[in-house]
């Protein structure tokens, strides 16, 4: 039997947790303030403390380090209905075992109690950081879970993959992880992979030496080296070309990069954070993304909810954006406009909400935002979804065509004996012509992007009678 102390000023919470403790055959004590809870911790040994954040007098965040001084080995579970990222970081830094958002169900808190009584308590991060909300606004349970995961993973060196729809704030999460990490004094290098030309992605990420390809007038270090000692954030990581994925995996495993055109590796030590709105699992199944790289990147995952799944956060987001966009004016949002804002589905998520408020502030001449000042809702991104679906269908269609062609040739009466060479003779010429066309016939650049040695590519071009430039 364990002794559990509940510090909460809500009688219903204390009663519910007390009844749960009795059912689990534990002894449960209650305190309505942090001061009373600290006095109990001075007098007797405790096996677990359940601590609320908002309390009369001393708050839970202030009380937490004092509890850890009195009982260093006792796990403390922090409970809150009003936390933000700053709160989550503070309580994790001060050694909280877990961080639970109210309202919670008894099954959830029962699992937390069982874990806290059987596992080693969390240790505090050795360095202190002054925290604010970092632009990530929310108090709903789904956002409390996001804050907790940021706070837990920030002190480590683990790769983190941030998922979520476009406009949910994935880069803000990456910047928050960097800020609260041990690498916060190092650089934060952010790049949108989708904005990189596929032909130049390798040199942008890994660097190049002068003269390594047409246009390489000077040596460049590359983003992976620029992030040395800090954090590299790759947004839209699903768009990394397959040949570059191989080099990225090696850089993560070996801690070194090989610039384009160089025979000497360069050491670099960076933490990698990635983000995507695409389904990477589906892309690994279709062969468009390497399985081994996916498992390396997805060591720890944070999924950002769409705004339509946390409508209760809209008022706080509205206040945040209006204060920053009003340019010194005092502007009020009417109740009718706020109801309209909360009712929308926001397919563009927080980014769309910000744009709508910026639009409304231009039209609101009387310092009050009304429903008629808001732009019409944006339609869902159907064209983007259709484009992605078409791309995947083309890949699957190619596989199906190859399968049917192979079956037909195997059933042919002449029993072909060189089927593999026959297939290569069909697919290689259009593939190589397309690669050369992309690089204006330059063999060296085409060989690099398709993953062939320049000599091998030249032999294949000669075999098929295709002309290329040296």
Q: Which CATH class is domain 156-303?
A: alpha beta
**What is the C-alpha separation between 98 and 88, in angstroms, rounded?**
10
Q: What is the residue-wise DSSP string for 230-273?
A: SEEEEETGGGS-HHHHHHHHHHHHHSEE--BT-SS-EE---EEE
| Topology alike, domains 3-144 and 156-303 | yes
**What is the C-alpha separation between 193 and 289, in angstroms, rounded?**
14
- Residues 448, 453, 455, 461, CA torsion sign: negative
pLDDT at residue number 213 = 64
**Contact call for residues 252 and 159 (beta carbons, < 8 A):** yes
How high is the mean pLDDT in each 10-residue block of the chain (470 residues)? 92 91 91 93 92 92 90 88 78 83 82 80 36 68 87 91 92 93 92 81 81 68 91 93 88 87 85 92 88 92 93 92 86 93 93 93 87 87 46 65 77 64 80 81 80 80 75
**Which candidate, 299, 302, 174, places its Cα nearest to that of 235?**
174
pLDDT at residue number 42 = 92
pLDDT at residue number 319 = 92
List all residues 6 or more positions away from 51 whose beta carbon is below 8 Å from its beta carbon.
7, 8, 34, 37, 60, 63, 64, 67, 76, 77, 78, 79
Domain boundaries, the chain: 3-144, 156-303, 307-373, 418-470
Backbone angles phi, psi at 298, to 5 degrees: -95, 35
pLDDT at residue number 131 = 33
pLDDT at residue number 388 = 45
pLDDT at residue number 214 = 60
Q: Which CATH class is domain 307-373?
A: mainly alpha
**CATH code matching the domain that covers 418-470, chosen among 1.10.10.60, 3.40.50.720, 3.40.50.300, 3.40.50.1970:** 1.10.10.60
pLDDT at residue number 384 = 44
CA torsion 133-139-144-150 (nearest 10°) is: -20
Q: pTM for the whole thing?
A: 0.64
Which three-class secondary structure state does DSSP give residue 326?
coil
List all residues 6 or more positions away from 200 whose beta carbon is below 8 Å from its beta carbon.
none
Alpha carbon distances (Å) from 427 to 401, 433, 434, 442, 464: 12, 11, 11, 20, 11
Beta strands 76-80; 48-52: pairing state? parallel
pLDDT at residue number 119 = 67
Alpha carbon distances (Å) from 223 to 188, 189, 290, 348, 464: 10, 7, 21, 29, 38
Which three-class secondary structure state does DSSP give residue 192?
strand
Which tokens sit at 453?
Answer: 């040695």
pLDDT at residue number 216 = 63
So what's the architecture of 3-144 in CATH? 3-Layer(aba) Sandwich (3.40)
């Amino acid at each position: 039997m364990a002794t559990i102390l509940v510090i909460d000023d809500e009688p219903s919470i204390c009663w519910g947790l007390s009844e749960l403790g009795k059912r689990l055959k534990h002894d449960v004590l209650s305190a309505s303030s942090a001061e009373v809870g600290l006095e109990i911790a001075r007098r007797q040994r405790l096996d677990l403390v359940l601590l609320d954040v908002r309390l009369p007098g001393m708050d839970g965040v202030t009380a937490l380090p004092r509890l850890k001084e009195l009982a260093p080995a006792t796990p403390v579970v922090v409970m809150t209905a009003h936390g933000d990222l700053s709160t989550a970081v503070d309580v994790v830094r001060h050694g909280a075992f877990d961080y639970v958002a109210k309202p919670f169900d008894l099954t959830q808190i029962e699992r937390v109690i069982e874990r806290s009584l059987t596992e080693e308590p969390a240790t505090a991060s050795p360095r202190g950081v002054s925290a604010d909300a970092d632009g990530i606004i929310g108090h709903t349970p789904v956002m409390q879970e996001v804050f907790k995961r940021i706070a837990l993973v920030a002190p480590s060196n683990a790769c983190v993959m941030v998922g979520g729809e476009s406009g949910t704030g994935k880069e803000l999460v990456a910047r928050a992880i960097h800020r609260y990490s041990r690498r916060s004094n190092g650089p934060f290098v952010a790049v949108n992979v989708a904005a990189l030309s596929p032909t130049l992605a390798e040199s942008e990420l890994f660097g190049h030496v002068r003269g390594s390809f047409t246009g390489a007038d000077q040596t460049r270090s590359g983003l992976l080296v620029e992030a040395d000692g800090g954090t590299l954030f790759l947004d839209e990581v699903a768009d990394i070309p397959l040949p570059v994925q191989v080099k990225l995996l090696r850089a993560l495993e070996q801690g070194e990069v090989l610039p384009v055109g160089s025979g000497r590796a360069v050491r670099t030590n960076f933490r990698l954070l990635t983000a995507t709105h695409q389904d990477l699992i589906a892309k690994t199944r279709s062969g468009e993304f390497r399985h081994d790289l996916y498992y390396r990147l997805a060591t720890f995952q944070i999924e950002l909810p769409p705004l339509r799944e946390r409508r209760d956060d809209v008022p706080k987001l509205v206040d945040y954006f209006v204060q920053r966009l009003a340019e010194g004016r005092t502007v009020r949002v009417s109740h009718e406009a706020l109801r309209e804002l909360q009712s929308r589905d926001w397919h563009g998520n927080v980014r769309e909400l910000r744009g709508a408020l910026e639009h409304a502030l231009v039209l609101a001449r009387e310092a009050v935002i009304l429903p008629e000042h808001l732009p019409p809702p944006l339609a869902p991104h159907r064209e983007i979804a259709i484009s992605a679906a078409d791309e995947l269908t083309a890949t699957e269609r190619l596989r199906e065509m190859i399968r049917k062609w192979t079956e037909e040739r195997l059933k042919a009466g002449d029993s072909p004996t060189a089927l593999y060479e026959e297939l290569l003779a069909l697919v290689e010429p259009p593939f190589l012509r397309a690669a050369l066309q992309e690089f204006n016939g330059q063999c060296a650049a085409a060989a690099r992007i398709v993953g062939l040695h320049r000599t091998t590519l030249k032999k294949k071009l000669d075999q098929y009678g295709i002309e290329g430039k040296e």
